[in-house]
Amino acid sequence: MLKEETKNAKNGKKKKKVGEPRQPMPEQDPRTRARNFEEVPKGYTDEMAIAEAARCLTCKKPKCVEGCPVRINIPGFVGLIADGRFIEAAMKLKEDTALPAVCGRVCPQETQCEAECVLGKKFEPVAIGRLERFAADYARDHGEPDPDVTSPTGKKVAVIGAGPAGITAASDLACRGHKIIMFEALHQPGGVLVYGIPQFRLPKEIVQYEVNGLKKLGVEIRTDYVIGKTETVDQLLEEYDAVFIATGAGLPMFLGIPGENAIGVFSANEFLTRVNLMKAYDFPHHATSPIRADHVITVGGGNVAMDSARTALRLETRSTIVYRRSRAEMPARDEEIHHAEEEGVAMNLLTNPVRILSDENNRATGMECIRMELGEPDESGRRRPVPIEGSEFVIEADTMVIAIGNRPNPLIPQTTEGLDVSKWGTVEVNEETMATSKDGVFAAGDIVSGAATVISAMGQGKQAADAIHEYLTG
């Protein structure tokens, strides 16, 4: 590949700056940002974006695209940025992803597209995520043309859940001329993008913008509408030609240790929802009770744990993570762990909670933990943590956030007849078409895969949209 580049240069083509260092992302100072809810990375300038895009080798067989769950034409959009054609770059992105501004921010690029980047083998990979974000932000700020919508097909699809999977499928299907009605249980569309991922990682205006984009496509969004309660999937099937279930993994898991129902113990979902969606940090203007803590312990090592621990800092508290394995096994993105450490989150690794201590009013006062050591690898391939006997100790804290994952929300599986569900509560689907056991009903996202990432939900949403289109027109 490198040889080819040199050859190109000799042929008088644009010279690639192979080996130029990657453009660093301008960021807020860690200590300032730990106290505010503004976004941490500030984004590339035009010049930085062009310089970074110019690093791309425009491989003939781009490996990066293979690494992307939604198969974005990465060399295509990066090349347009390198030529300064930013709006066109954004349009190119939109061909494959409904939410480039979101993915550019929250995707784990280092394990997906960027991990595959050829340049990364010898140098740093092209900063695909940052470029994606740049193009999407540029288009949002400068106005982008409306997408092409084919003529109406007369088919109606119910999309349940306005999160990443639902938005992707709704957008795809609407562009293909189907009438989309989206049902959202909460009072705002966006799903985990509005209740879960904090403002400093994903500004809510971006989600709002993308949702407005959906509305422009003619998608009708019914908030405050809980399918499985307000109406069931079976009732929807009487009115719609197809139903797409994208309700996510909205049932928090707890540790199952004594004292866990003490006041001050939150699921990460509740903790983040209070702050993000309900804006409790803006109490009393927003009425939801704020979380006032001296010390917040977050249990878990995933992205949600990092989000919670960093949110805690922004509530002006001390913030500690308790995780039972070591840093290397943390499932969170490296960048997020790094940000958390940089901002001052204390890491208590190889530590497992044993019980939660509370006072006579059932208010949490501390967490008894035990030290762990790593033993043999388990099914996941990660070394299994084993408790060290007699190493119990107490961390004093008044607030604990349990961020150890979510199970699928049971409302729809419980109320839909003939819908096959796994023993973990996930909806069983054909992995190619995302079709469920029920005719005309498709499912994707965390309700299918358990708790995973925004981009994998989007990838599945896209797959499902193709299959639904096929189902409706085939």
Partner 1 sequence: MPQISLTIDGIEIEADEGTMVLDVARKAGIEIPTVCAHEDLAPYGACRLCIVDIEGLPGLPTSCTTPAAPGMVVHTQTEALQSLRQRTLELMLSGHPKGCLVCPHRTDCENHRPNPTKAGRTTRCGFCSNRSGCSIRDMSFEMCPTSELDLPTIYYGYNLERSDPFMDRDYNLCVLCAKCWRICEKIHGKPALSLVNRGRWARPGTNFDKSYVGSGCTFCGACIDICPTGTLSDRTGRWHGQPDKITLSTCTLCPEGCSMWVHTTDGKVTSTRMWAFDRESRLCALGRFVFAQMHNAPIRLRRPYVRTNGESIPMEWDDALKAAAERLSAFDKGQVVVIASECDTRETRYLYQKLAVEELSADVLFVPLGGSGDPSLGERLRDGSVKAAIVAGDFLDQESIERLECLIAVDWRPSDVSRNADIVLPAAILSESEGTFRDASGNVRSVPCCSETVGEARPEWRIVRDIARAMGSEEFDYETINDVTSEIVDDRPPSPWNGSPRDNLKELPGHFRGHCIADSAQEVEMLGLPTKAVRKRSETEEEGFRIIEKKEIVPNFHLLEVEAPQVARFAKPGQFVIVMVSEESERVPYTLADWNEETGTITMIVEEVGRSSREVALLKEGGMIAHVTGPLGMPVNIEKFGTVVMGAGCYGVGAVYPIARAMKAAGNRVITVVEACSYYLIYWEDKLAEVSDEILFATKDGSRGTHGGVQDVFGQLLTSTDGGSDPPDVFVAIGCTFMMRSAVEVTRASRVPTYVALNPIMVDGTGMCGACRCTVEGETRFACIDGPIFNGHEVDWDELSSRRSAYANVEVEALSHGGPPEPLEAQAGGSAARGVCSEDRCDFANIRPTYGN
* CA distance readout (Å), 144 to 92, 209, 212: 12, 12, 13
Instruction: Tell me the C-alpha distance between 321 and 349, whole Å.
Output: 8
H helix runs in 344-384, sequence order: none
Which segment (26-34, 112-120, 317-325, 365-373) binds partner 1 by CB under 8 A?
26-34
Instruction: Tell me the C-alpha distance between 352 and 241, whole Å.
Output: 49
Counting contacts by CB under 8 A, is residue 18 touching partner 1? no
Considering CB under 8 A, how many residues would be counted as binding partner 1? 49
**Nearest distance, CB of residue 229 and partner 1, angstroms:** 6
Q: Outline where DSSP puts E strands in 331-398.
A: 346-348, 351-358, 364-377, 383-387, 393-396
**Nearest distance, CB of residue 224 and partner 1, angstroms:** 4
**Nearest distance, CB of residue 208 and partner 1, angstroms:** 13
Q: Which residues inside 190-219 make contact with partner 1, applying CB under 8 A? A: 195
Which segment (365-373, 382-390, 406-414, 448-456) binds partner 1 by CB under 8 A?
406-414
H helix runs in 332-431, sequence order: 334-343, 411-415
Query: Which of 13, 17, 31, 42 is the binder for partner 1 (CB under 8 A)?
Result: 31
Which segment (1-9, 87-95, 275-283, 372-380) binds partner 1 by CB under 8 A?
275-283
Q: Which residues inside 282-311 make contact with partner 1, applying CB under 8 A? A: 283-290, 292
Given the structure tokens 């409706």, which residue do they identify? Answer: 472
**Nearest distance, CB of residue 111 and partner 1, angstroms:** 27
How would you label 347-369 residue by residue, b for 16+ Cβ within 10 Å and e otherwise? bbbbbbbbbbbbeeeeebebbbb
Task: Please say which residue, 190 or 252, places its beta carbon nearer to partner 1.
Answer: 252
Counting contacts by CB under 8 A, is residue 261 touching partner 1? yes
Give the list of residues 6+ apart from residue 431 with CB closer than 8 angstroms, or none.
none
Query: Which of 2, 18, 226, 346 is the binder for partner 1 (CB under 8 A)?
Result: 226
* CA distance readout (Å), 11 to 3, 62, 201, 291, 412: 12, 22, 44, 63, 61
Which segment (111-119, 203-211, 269-277, 441-449) binds partner 1 by CB under 8 A?
269-277
Task: Tell me the DSSP string of 331-345.
Answer: -S-HHHHHHHHHHT-
Residue 419, token pair as written in the block: 């819908």
| Residues binding partner 1 (CB under 8 A) | 28-29, 31-32, 34-35, 185-187, 195, 223-226, 229-231, 250-252, 254, 260-261, 263-264, 266-267, 269-270, 273-274, 278-279, 283-290, 292, 316, 361-363, 409-411
